[in-house]
Amino acid sequence: MTTIKPISVSSSKTSPDNPMTAAEMGKLRATYLGNSMSKCIISYYLQHVEDEDIKTLLENALTIVVDFMQSIETLFNKENFPLPKGFGEEDVNLNAPRLFEDEFYVHYLKYTAKAGMSIYSVAIPLVFRDDIKEFFVNSMKSTIELMEQIKALLMAKGFIIKPPIVPVPEKVEYVDYKFTNGYLGEVRPLHALEITHFYDNIENSITSKALVMAFSQVAKDEEIRELFKKGTDITSTNIEKYRKKLEDQNLPAPSLIDHLVTESAIPPFSDKIMLFHKMDMFSMKIRAIGNSIAVDGRNDISLLYSGAFMRVSDFAKEALKLYIQNGWMEKPILAIDR
C-alpha cells in the first residue's frame, strides 16, 4: 500500500464548532432519508428469508443502516437540526406475504449499495468538518465491506456472471477519425469502458425492473400503479437496447430476474415509500447514464444513452409530481431568499 507524506495543518477550521455547510447538511439529509427507507425494506425482507447466508447478509446490511441513521441523528442533534421524518413503521407491513425470492435480496443489496457508494464518493471531497468527514469515510468503508460480501455470495451461489473478458492489447496504438463511427463507415468494436458501463447499466436495470414490477403489483393508488407499469416498460426498453450492443459483439450480459418476484398482490410497503424508492433510484440512473456518456466514443452509443436519459428523466419527473401531489415531499434545505 502506498504511503504519502503527512502534512501538518490546524484542524480549527474543520472542528464540530463550525456550522455545517450546504454540502454537509444536504448529503447527511439525503443519506438519512435513504437509510430510513432501507431500514423498512430490509426489515421486511428478513421476515421472508430461508437461506442462512442471505439472512446473515441482510442482517449485516440492517446493522449498517441503523448505525448510519444513529450517527446522523447525533450529528444533527449537535446542530439542533430538525431530524427528517423519513419512513417508519407506518410504511412497512412486516406481516405481508413474501413478495420476493431469497436470491432477489442479494441483487437488491448490490443495487442499493452502489447508490449509497455514489452518495458517499461525492460527499467526501465536499465535506470539511472532521466529524462529518469521518462519518462519510466510515460509511464508504462499511459499504465496501458489505459489497465484497454481496459479490462473493452472488458468485458462490451462481447468481451472476462476471463482466465480459476481452483480449489483452499487444501494444500501445493510437486511433484515427473513424474511432467515433457508429452508423456509417467502419465501426470499431466496443472498448473496455463502454462494455463496463453497458454491463453495469444492465445489472442495475434488471434489479430495477423486477422491483418496479413488484411495486406495480401491490401499489394501492391507481395513478402510482400505472406509473410503476410505465417504469417497468421504460426499464425493459433500456435493457433491450443495452443488451443488443453487447450481443452484437458476442459478449454476455446479466440475465433478467423477474422470476424472483412472487404473485402476491398484498402490499408490504406504503405507496409513499415505494414511490420515493423508484423516484430516488431513477434519479441515480440519470447519473449512471451521464457517467456512461462521458466514457463512450461512438456516436451511436451517445444517441442510445440520450434516449435512455429522456425516458428515465420523464419517469423521475412524473414520480416527483405525484410525490408532491400526495403531500409526501419534505421540504429540502434552502438558501436564504433575498
Query: Cα torsion at 163, 168, 169, 170 (round to 10°)?
Result: -170
As a whole number, the mean pLDDT across the chain is: 94
Angle made by CA atoms 254, 182, 180, in degrees to the nearest 5 = 105
Angle made by CA atoms 80, 82, 84, in degrees to the nearest 5 = 145
Measured CA to CA, the distance from residue 331 to residue 79 in angstroms comes to 18
Convert 89-100 to b/e letters by CB count within 10 Å (16 or more is b). Answer: eebbbeebebbb
% of the chain at pLDDT higher than 70? 97
What CATH class does 183-325 carry? mainly alpha
**Per-residue cell: 4:** 504519502
CB 102 within 8 A of CB 262: no
Residue 158: the pLDDT is 94
Measured CA to CA, the distance from residue 100 to residue 259 in angstroms comes to 9
**Per-residue cell: 303:** 444517441
Residue 3: the pLDDT is 74
Residue 10: the pLDDT is 60
Q: How far is CA 265 from CA 67, 92, 193, 247, in A?
A: 32, 15, 40, 35
Helices (H), 100-163: 102-123, 130-156
- Cβ-count burial of 125 within 10 angstroms (0-12 exposed, 13-18 middle, 19+ buried)? exposed
Residue found by looking up cell 452509443 in the block: 301
Residue found by looking up cell 425516458 in the block: 311
Confidence of residue 315 (pLDDT cuts 50, 70, 90): very high
**269 pairs with which residues across the strands?**
92
208 Cβ neighbours under 8 A, 6+ residues apart: 111, 231, 235, 278, 281, 282, 285
CB 142 within 8 A of CB 31: no
Residue 170: the pLDDT is 94
**285 pairs with which residues across the strands?**
none
Confidence of residue 183 (pLDDT cuts 50, 70, 90): confident
**Per-residue cell: 28:** 447527511
Residue 133: the pLDDT is 96
Q: What tens digit of pLDDT does each residue of 2-33 get? A: 777 877 766 555 555 689 999 999 999 999 99
Q: What tens digit of pLDDT does each residue of 56-102 get? A: 999 999 999 999 999 999 999 999 999 999 999 999 999 999 999 99
| Phi, psi for 92 (deg, rounded to 5) | -145, 140
Residue 168: what residue type? V
Radius of gyration of the chain (CA): 22
Measured CA to CA, the distance from residue 175 to residue 183 in angstroms comes to 18
Q: Where in the chain is the domain with CATH 1.20.1260.10?
A: 20-156, 183-325
DSSP string, 6-29: ------GGGSTTSPPPHHHHHHHH
5 Cβ neighbours under 8 A, 6+ residues apart: none
Q: Classify domain 20-156 by CATH architecture.
A: Up-down Bundle (1.20)
Which of helix, strand or coil describes residue 81?
coil
